């Protein structure tokens, strides 16, 4: 199943039945929103979205019953991982290296 990264915090893919799926990360709220829709001649028909706290995703992955490409899960895990602490540079060390 192919997917596209639409922006730095949104991924979309199409299931084999033609249903479009997406997940988007909302940093301010600390949630993922999983959405689905089907394109119809009169416009898209949306299903109810699923809001998932980041902690729930980290512990268990995508909500049950959703078919999500494993590469999307992997990218989300990397994207949501905490940044490593910044290394402190000491200004006095250069004279010690002589």
What string of pLDDT tens digits covers the 98 residues of the chain? 799 999 999 999 999 999 999 999 999 999 999 999 999 999 999 999 999 999 999 999 999 989 999 999 999 999 998 777 777 665 655 555 55
pLDDT at 7: 95
pLDDT at 21: 97
- To the question of pTM greater than 0.75 for the whole model, the response is yes
Listed in sequence order, the residues at least 6 apart from 27 whose beta carbon sits closer than 8 Å to its beta carbon are 9
* Cβ(63)–Cβ(54) below 8 Å: no
The structure tokens 């929103």 sit at 33
Hey, is 35 helix, strand or coil? strand
Hey, is 36 helix, strand or coil? strand
């Amino acid at each position: 199943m192919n997917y596209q990264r639409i922006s730095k915090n949104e991924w979309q893919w199409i299931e084999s039945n033609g249903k479009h799926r997406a997940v988007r990360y909302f940093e301010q709220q600390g949630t993922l929103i999983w959405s689905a829709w089907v394109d119809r001649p009169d416009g898209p028909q949306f299903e109810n979205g699923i809001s998932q706290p980041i902690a729930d995703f980290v512990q268990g992955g995508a909500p049950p019953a959703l078919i999500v490409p494993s590469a999307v899960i992997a990218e989300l895990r990397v994207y949501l991982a905490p940044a490593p602490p910044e290394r402190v540079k000491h200004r006095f060390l250069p004279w010690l290296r002589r």
